[in-house]
Structure 1
Amino acid sequence: MKTILARKGSQAKDSDAFYFQEQPIPEPGPKDLLVRLAAIGMNPVDTKVRVRTQEDRVLGWDGCGIVEKIGTGVTDFKKGDKVYYAGELNRPGTNSEYHLVDYRITAHAPKALSPEDAAAMPLTSITAWEGLFDRLGFTAEKDANRGKNILIIGGAGGVGSVAIQLARWAGLTVYATASRPDTVDWCKNLGADTVLNHRNNLAEELKAAGADKVDAIYCATQMEQHWKAMAECIRPQGRIVLIDDPAGPVDITVFKLKSIAIFWEFMYTRSMFATEDIGEQGKLLATEASLLDNSTLVTTRQKTLHGLTPENIQAMHIHQESGTMMGKQVLVI
């Protein structure tokens, strides 16, 4: 099968950062699905792993395709099923024609979506769902959180784009941040009640929008830049969830007087540590598939490339690191 490998420690623009390698089609082990991929998605984790990896490896985790074989112990799936998933960080990625994935973190793909629209969704959907409902503690039901509000920093990115939609579905009043006219419109179209400019003072922007404080903050990007602003914007005894890596130490004491609860969201925790509730990821992807099928959620695919080539993978990495991302990039294999 065709695979594209990333060279360890490479920069996205390096001429030899990505290269083609023919590999044998893998055989599924216990609990595995062998999937023939139709489309794959791109996420910030791809670029981070490329820079940090100590060996050349196949990157990519979002995928949508057809089950070709199943391993022992697999239930609920059979050959020919169309599935989507975000994979596991400690296994080879989806920049390949075939891929192995644990069935417990997999779901039947949305019936109403094309493979490329479905491939845009898994990783960001899991991250948004777990952050909102597992970490921040909101109720994962339609309109169940009326009267509560949330600030989503980085509303136009991959995770923010799904978090806006899920928060709106769950009944929250949504304040999201964006700074360009196109990203502001994107956030509004996804359901944000108010869009704040994160290049300005967020606390002042929030007050101007008629809210003194928010119940929770989902910080999907640049936590250090917004650290003090979050301390101002959050209500006493509120909750904050973080997903990106700080470049250095941060002063957590700015949240002490308000007794703020700080959570990390890392969607690979369940698969990396084989937690007892690993199957929750498959279940939440199934729920989100239903929400996509009934148009409660919409795909966040914004850019589509065709063909599994080193050049296309490189182009996706360069764009991912450009700081201008809106929604998701997808490659049709």
Structure 2
Amino acid sequence: MAFKTVIGSIADHFRPKMDAVGVTHNGPLTADDAFIERSVNQPQPRENEILVQVLASSVNPVDVKMRSGYQDKGVFRIFGLDVVGRVAAVGKDVSRFAVGDRVYYAGKQHHDGADAAYQVIPAEMAAKAPENLDDVSAAAMPLTTITAYDILVHGFHLPIAKDAGKGKSVLIINGAGGVGSILIQLAKYLGLTVIATAGRADSQEWVKKMGADHVVDYHRGLVRQIADLGYPEVDYIANLQDTTGYWDLMVKTIRPYGEIASIVDTTMPVDLGELKSKSASFSWIFMLARGNFNVYLSEQGQILEDMATLFDEGILHSTVTKVYHGLTAYSIRSAFQDVAGHRAIGKVVVDFAPNIKASEGGMPLEDGSDKESTFSDGPDNIQEKDGQAEKTGKSELNDEDAPTHY
């Protein structure tokens, strides 16, 4: 064994360890070993980074997609992008945060994720968490809120200001998902008339609760339904479900000089030229581009800081609807199953409180954490009320192989 390797192995032995959940191969989510638990080296922050003790994390469709594309067999990979946590250490160049600060953020796609006791993140990507949201409620929000912001600001070129879009209309395709749920709220703050698609009765009820002015059933002809509402054309369209499948609808429904934004890959080529006669524009929105290309990182932190104010003022509300208890392979796998099954309304969160209570060297739980949460608790249905995640009953697991519903 080379001398450097020996020294590295000795040094590695003395590095602090932490619990993490991840994958070493790509298999069905229904398999018991779809996720595994490991003790790994605790990361250390560089000069511009903060070390965060993760208090809770949520699962997004992009997490499921990343796992399905995993190809490094045998290499332990940790997923998880959404975080609420407490700063455990700061790099020497960090001045915005101090140890003990409660922060929230969406991490980088190609770095070790948040399904671990600790994570490092560039300080400029984080913001202090909304004071009025507890850990579970706050963990649901970073990625989807930034995406909704990007749709409105970078896709539709609207400022995030009260009534900035008054008199304009927006069609949100898939209003009940994580992005749709917060986009509806932000669009209403801007004064937009919101038309949102939803299929199931519970999805339609949820979309109305989020503030949609009109709900249309995607099972039936959308063009006719929207026209019957008095909107044969709309100013803006946000496609959060299927760019290819809804392309013809969008071309027909967008108003001249209107703007379309989509977060969903095309499955077949689409003809952008069809928008030319209307002088309508089309934009791709992918909030993870900032972290992937290391550009505009501070904008991401600023967005979260601004949105925290709206959460604290009660203008925006958390979209969490389900919580699992404990950073375990079971909890992570189950949350991924829920999201992969396309039946989840709002957001699914994993609460790390049981791990923190069980740890010997970590910070104690403070206000905002569910101090009664235990590893043995099954998943709970959640309803956010005044910033607190209230349990409304026990929840069943969803089947990864169930038909897609929105």
**Which one has the largest radius of gyration?**
2
Per the TM alignment, residue 30 of structure 1 is displaced from its structure 2 partner at its CA by 2.4
Aligned to 1:162: 182
Distance in 1 between residues matched to 2:138 and 2:265, nearest whole Å: 27
* One-letter amino acid of the structure 1 residue matched with residue 297 of structure 2: I
> Which residues in structure 2 correspond to 1:14-93 (within 5 Å)?
14-55=31-72, 56-93=76-113
Per the TM alignment, residue 133 of structure 1 is displaced from its structure 2 partner at its CA by 1.1
Distance in 2 between residues matched to 1:281 and 1:168, nearest whole Å: 22
Distance in 1 between residues matched to 2:25 and 2:188, nearest whole Å: 40
Give the secondary structure class of the aligned counterpart of 1:311. Answer: helix
Aligned to 2:307: 288
Contact 1:84-1:109 within 8 A present in 2 as well: yes
| Structure 2 residue 124 is the aligned partner of structure 1 residue 107 | no
Contact 1:202-1:233 within 8 A present in 2 as well: no
Contact 1:7-1:50 within 8 A present in 2 as well: no
Q: Which has the higher relative contact order, 1 or 2, with Cα contacts under 8 A spaced 6 or more apart?
A: 1
Per the TM alignment, residue 321 of structure 1 is displaced from its structure 2 partner at its CA by 1.2
> Which residues in structure 2 correspond to 1:138-217 (within 5 Å)?
138-217=158-237
Give the secondary structure class of the aligned counterpart of 1:167. Answer: helix
CA-to-aligned-CA distance 1:166-204 (integer Å, 9 cap, x gap): 000011111111111111111111111111112222211
Q: Percent identity?
A: 38
Distance in 2 between residues matched to 1:70 and 1:248, nearest whole Å: 46
Aligned to 1:326: 345
CA-to-aligned-CA distance 1:242-270 (integer Å, 9 cap, x gap): 10122333333332322321101110111
Q: 1:315 aligns with which of 327, 334, 338?
A: 334
* One-letter amino acid of the structure 1 residue matched with residue 32 of structure 2: S
Contact 1:110-1:289 within 8 A present in 2 as well: yes
Per the TM alignment, residue 140 of structure 1 is displaced from its structure 2 partner at its CA by 1.2
Distance in 2 between residues matched to 1:323 and 1:270, nearest whole Å: 26
Q: 1:298 aligns with which of 299, 302, 317?
A: 317
Contact 1:201-1:229 within 8 A present in 2 as well: no
Q: 1:231 aligns with which of 207, 227, 251?
A: 251
* One-letter amino acid of the structure 1 residue matched with residue 155 of structure 2: R
Aligned to 2:362: none
Per the TM alignment, residue 226 of structure 1 is displaced from its structure 2 partner at its CA by 1.2
Distance in 1 between residues matched to 2:187 and 2:257, nearest whole Å: 20
Give the secondary structure class of the aligned counterpart of 2:116. Answer: coil
* One-letter amino acid of the structure 2 residue matched with residue 200 of structure 1: R
Number of equivalences: 332
Aligned to 1:118: 138
Per the TM alignment, residue 109 of structure 1 is displaced from its structure 2 partner at its CA by 0.2
* One-letter amino acid of the structure 2 residue matched with residue 106 of structure 1: A
Distance in 1 between residues matched to 2:335 and 2:313, nearest whole Å: 30
| Structure 2 residue 116 is the aligned partner of structure 1 residue 96 | yes
CA-to-aligned-CA distance 1:259-300 (integer Å, 9 cap, x gap): 32110111011121121x321111110111111111100000
Q: 1:9 aligns with which of 26, 31, 36?
A: 26
Per the TM alignment, residue 143 of structure 1 is displaced from its structure 2 partner at its CA by 0.9
Per the TM alignment, residue 222 of structure 1 is displaced from its structure 2 partner at its CA by 1.7
